[in-house]
Amino acid sequence: MKVPILKQGNLLIASIQSALSDDDLTELREELTRMVGEKRAKGVIIEVATLDVIDSFATRTLRSIAHMARLRGADTVIVGIRPEVAFSMVQLGLSLAGIHTALDLDDGMELLRKLRERPES
Partner 1 sequence: MGIAVRTKNAVKKSPLVELQGELVGFFRRNRERLRKAWIEQMTGKGYLAALTMEETESESKAIYDMVIDTLETGDYAAAGAYANTLAERGVLRGMTTEQIISGLLVLRDVYGRNLFESYRHDREKLTSALDIYEPVANRILSIAALAFLEEREKVVRDQQEAIRELSTPVLQIRDKLLILPIIGLIDSTRARQLTEQLLNAIRDKRAKVVVIDITGVPVVDSKVASHLIQTADAVAVMGGTAIFTGVSPGIAQTVVTLGIDLTKLKTVGDLEGGIEEADRMLGFKVQPTF
Q: In whole angstroms, give the CA distance from residue 41 to residue 58.
A: 23
Minimum CB distance to partner 1, residue 55 (Å): 14
Query: Which one, of 107, 2, 106, 1, lies nearest residue 51 by Cα?
Result: 2
Query: How many angstroms separate the Cα of 107 from the Cα of each of 4, 13, 74, 85?
Result: 20, 13, 17, 19
Minimum CB distance to partner 1, residue 34 (Å): 27
Residues 1-20 as x/- pattern, contact with partner 1 by CB under 8 A: --------------------
> 62 with 29: CB under 8 angstroms?
no
Minimum CB distance to partner 1, residue 8 (Å): 20
Q: In whole angstroms, give the CA distance from residue 51 to residue 60.
A: 15
H helix count then E strand count, the chain? 4, 5
**By three-state DSSP, how is residue 16 classified?**
coil
Residues 87-116 as x/- pattern, contact with partner 1 by CB under 8 A: x-xxx---xx---xxxxx--x---x-----
56 binds partner 1 (CB under 8 A): no
82 binds partner 1 (CB under 8 A): yes
Among 18, 83, 118, 121, binds partner 1 (CB under 8 A): 83
Residues found near partner 1 in the complex (CB under 8 A) = 79, 81-84, 86-87, 89-91, 95-96, 100-104, 107, 111
